[in-house]
Amino acid sequence: MGRGFLQTVDALLSRRRVQLLLKPRKTLPQSLLSASAAVFLNRCAASFAKRPLPLESVRAISGMIGAAGLQASRSAMSFYRDRVYPHIVAAMGNPEPIQKIRQQVVPHAQGIVLEIGVGPGVNFPLYDPAKVKKLYALEPNRGMVQRADIQGRRTKLDLEFLDLPGEKIPLPDASVDTVVSTFTLCTIPGVADAIRGIARVLRPGGQFLFFEHGLSPDISVRRWQQRTEPLFQWAFEGCHVTRNIPEIVQQGGFRIERMDTGYMAGFPKCGSYCFWGAATPQT
Ligand SMILES: C[S@@+](CC[C@H](N)C(=O)[O-])C[C@H]1O[C@@H](n2cnc3c(N)ncnc32)[C@H](O)[C@@H]1O
């Protein structure tokens, strides 16, 4: 890759306007929307009526427009989160190489199982109903739960949805035999709290099965991961590509018993360096 090209990409990504654009989606402040509406109204009045509108009318109308704009931008955000994002994850989250690794990891689950961030429920058919007594399916996104519910009904699993985030697992200490996480540790905002929670709910000798993507060991890929991190966060609801998954798991109180790593073909390298294996809580 040409040095000039990389410098141009770096320069572009470091521009304030681009960074603002890529910040995790936030609604525009209502005051900004109202102020823009006020300027627009005054311009129209000056052009068509050739005199300014009375201040009270401008305040009232721009206030209403600001509130409506805020409502519209909130609706657009929740439409993306609840409708578009689940669709993207369902459509892109399980190409063949990833499906093959899921098939190696998920069937190890047994007993009382907790899966965090189940998404559209792509792992459900991979659990062995003869080994899994109960599956707690934790997922805070309503749109995902709707899809996962349909998927769950096609299995023989005893399934219960938990709609809290992974940072607040609503289960007692040492009550779970296996915790499963696939492509979720990249997205959970409070990932350190979530890992500690996973260690808390696992019984001694229980297993944490993981299949996650994160920080590559290759310097050139890492640079691209740092460059593209804001894009991933923006498009995939806070997904990080630079999280050091084994470090996060170990710092959360686990010993990694086995782990494989590799790039998953079909995705750009910066988003496809994966870690999969099993860890046990340290006593
Ligand atoms: C990339 S998707 C992965 C979905 C699924 N595990 C899979 O393997 O396809 C990330 C999932 O994490 C969920 N998630 C986001 N924030 C979360 C949180 N704080 N706790 C638990 N799950 C969360 C998202 O709603 C989404 O379903």
| Residue 44 banded pLDDT, cuts 50, 70, 90 | low
Q: Are strands 111-116 and 176-182 parallel, antiparallel or unpaired?
A: parallel
Whether residue 213 contacts residue 183, with contact meaning beta carbons closer than 8 Å, is answered with yes
Residue 74 has pLDDT above 90, yes or no: no
Say yes or no: 39 and 105 in one domain.
no
CA of 184 to the centre of ligand 1 (A): 4
Same structural domain, 252 and 112: yes
**What's the whole-number mean pLDDT along residues 167-188?**
97
Same domain membership, residue 158 and residue 34: no
Please indicate, yes or no, whether residues 138 and 55 belong to a single structural domain of this protein.
no
Mean residue pLDDT across the chain? 87
Structurally, the chain folds into a number of domains equal to 2
Question: Is the CB–ligand 1 distance for residue 151 below 6 Å?
Answer: no
Question: Is 109 domain-assigned?
Answer: yes
Q: Is residue 144 in contact with ligand 1, taking CB distance under 6 Å? A: yes
For residue 14, tell me if it sits in a domain: no
Record the pTM: 0.81
Instruction: Report yes or no on 174 lying in a domain.
Output: yes
Reported as a pLDDT band with limits 50, 70 and 90, residue 76 is: confident
Nearest CA to ligand 1 atom 14: 117
In percent, the amount of the chain with pLDDT more than 90 equals: 67
Ligand 1 mean position, distance from CA 245 (Å):
15
In this structure, are 77 and 111 located in the same domain?
A: no
Q: What is the pLDDT of residue 266?
A: 77
**Cα separation of 144 and 89, whole Å?**
9
Distance 55 CA to ligand 1 centre (A): 48
141 in Cβ contact with 81 (< 8 Å): yes
116 pocket-lining for ligand 1 (C-beta < 6 Å): yes
Give per-residue pLDDT as tens, 118-147.
999 999 999 999 999 999 999 999 999 999
CA separation for the pair 59, 263 (Å, rounded): 56
Range of the domain at 38: 24-82
Q: How confident is the model at residue 117 (pLDDT cuts 50, 70, 90)?
A: very high
Distance 152 CA to ligand 1 centre (A): 16
Mean pLDDT (whole number) for 157-163? 97
pLDDT in tens, 53-70: 677 766 767 676 766 666
**Does residue 101's CB lie within 6 angstroms of at least one atom of ligand 1?**
no
pLDDT (mean) for 195-201: 97
204 C-alpha to center of ligand 1: Å? 26
Residue closest via CA to ligand 1's atom 22 equals: 117
Q: How far apart are CA 283 and CA 204, in angstroms?
A: 7
> Where residue 211 falls among pLDDT bands split at 50, 70, 90?
very high
